[in-house]
């Protein structure tokens, strides 16, 4: 699985361009991010809730690479951070362009969540 590029409002993975936030599973499956998990708690999708963390995490995942938006506006809630720590899943939180680079260089079993706008 390779992320080809990102720009404000889109991300291209293996030649397919997505005009929405995405989650890349361990299998390489690309899913549209389910923002509802965090919006219902924070009224924004810029804070990852524990419920969204539970959806993102997969057994066997040792790294989450989180693209926090083109301008680095997304963050993990304290509860989400604790959830990943409890599951021994390291979180790499960077602006989306930097997170794309980190994902493409990742070793081990990584999932990726990429916010493509702000």
- CATH 3.30.160.60 assigned to domain 3-115? The reply is no
Domain ranges of the chain: 3-115
3-state secondary structure of 16: strand
| Contact criterion met (CB below 8 Å) for 113 and 33 | yes
| Contact criterion met (CB below 8 Å) for 34 and 16 | no
Helix (H) / strand (E) containing 78: helix 78-86
Convert the pLDDT of each residue in 79-112 to its tens digit: 999 999 999 999 999 999 999 999 999 988 999 9
Which residues 6+ apart lie within 8 Å of 32 measured at CB? 18, 20, 21, 22, 23
Could you give the CA distance from residue 13 to residue 87 in angstroms, rounded to a whole number? 27
**C-alpha dist (Å) from residue 61 to 16, 41, 58, 85:** 24, 25, 6, 12
pTM of the entire structure? 0.95
Convert the pLDDT of each residue in 32-83 to its tens digit: 999 999 999 999 999 999 999 999 999 999 999 999 999 999 999 999 999 9
């Amino acid at each position: 699985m390779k992320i080809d590029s990102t720009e404000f409002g889109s991300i291209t993975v293996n030649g397919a361009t997505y005009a929405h936030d995405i989650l890349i599973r361990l299998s390489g499956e690309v899913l549209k991010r389910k923002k509802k998990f965090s919006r219902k708690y924070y009224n924004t999708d810029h804070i990852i809730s524990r419920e969204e963390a539970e959806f993102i995490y997969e057994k066997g995942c040792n790294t989450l690479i989180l693209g926090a938006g083109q301008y680095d506006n997304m963050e993990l809630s304290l509860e989400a951070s604790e959830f990943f720590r409890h599951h021994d899943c390291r979180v790499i939180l960077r602006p989306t362009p930097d997170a794309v680079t980190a994902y493409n260089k990742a070793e081990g079993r990584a999932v990726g969540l990429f916010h493509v706008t702000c």
